[in-house]
Amino acid sequence: MPTDERRYIITFGCPDRMGIVAGIAGFLADAGGWIVEASYHTDPDTGWFFTRQVVRADSLPFGVEELRTRFGTVATALSAESGWKVDDTGEQRRVVLLVSKEGHCLYDLLGRVTAGELDARVCAVIGNHATLGPVTRGHGIPFFHVPFPAGDPEGKAAAFARVRQLVDKHDPHAIVLARFMQVLPAELCEAWQGRALNIHHSFLPSFVGAKPYHQAYTRGVKLVGATCHYVSADLDAGPIVEQDVMRVNHGDSVADMVRKGRDVEKVTLARGLRWHLESRVLVHGNKTVVF
């Protein structure tokens, strides 16, 4: 990446009060930081302040580790309750994909990465079926088949332990459940909190759980949708990153709705993943701010 294109991204949140913006801007100005993007939001219900600041890396006389150290002092001075991080666009984002049999989300993400539309490296694809192995390997990406034995709790626990081992060795910035069709155990939800993204083929919170298109068809809905959200221990209830919908009508069968829904799913997942990798998503409780 050319030096003048490399950026440091600061995301910060704390209880709102006077002087937060001045404190951050003053710190960056004193260091010579050239701010190229700045976003702010205060949630009136919680009184929580959020900001995302993007700084040209070549404008600072020190590297990202020293920036983290110095900004940590500023963050603590602004609020003892602050949450923050500093990301470096010079470090390519690492992604691991979890899949099952349906490939539309996988095909879409691999296509975007191959075309250079999504600046990330897919380190591995892990499937509980071997179906998507050939297309994954065709892109030069390792594929790991980890079967999940039905009706065998101990075997399932061992399978999740193997998945965790395969994922964690890459220390990924994102773990994407690209129609993985397995419910992550609570310990994995906790370990991957804020990094595990799921695509749910429904406009949550409507039609939670299995076969949402069948539920929607029975209800006679006129819109079907998809929700990209962070994974939490509460099924399909994690913080929402992105949603989209598509119109359907009385003439559409369940199969038609599934086909249309797949188009929405892959676009919604790609958007949510991009925003996550660009550090645009700030989480507070079960809500998100997406800058």
d(CA 80, CA 245): 40
The tokens 């179906």 sit on which residue? 131
Let me know if 236 is a catalytic residue: yes
As a whole number of angstroms, the distance between CA 142 and CA 152 comes to 27
85 near 57, Cβ under 8 Å? no
How many Cα neighbours within 13 Å face the side chain of 51?
Answer: 21
Which residue among the candidates 108, 236, 244, 252 is catalytic per the annotation? 236
Total length of the chain: 291
Which residues make beta-bridge pairs with 9?
Answer: 54, 87
Distance from C-alpha of 125 to C-alpha of 94, rounded to nearest angstrom: 12
What is the greatest pairwise CA distance in the chain?
63
Residue entry with tokens 């079960």: 286
Strands 48-56 and 7-15: antiparallel
Q: How far is CA 129 from CA 101, 125, 133, 179, in A?
A: 6, 11, 9, 12
Token pair recorded at residue 288: 């998100």
Active site residues: 236
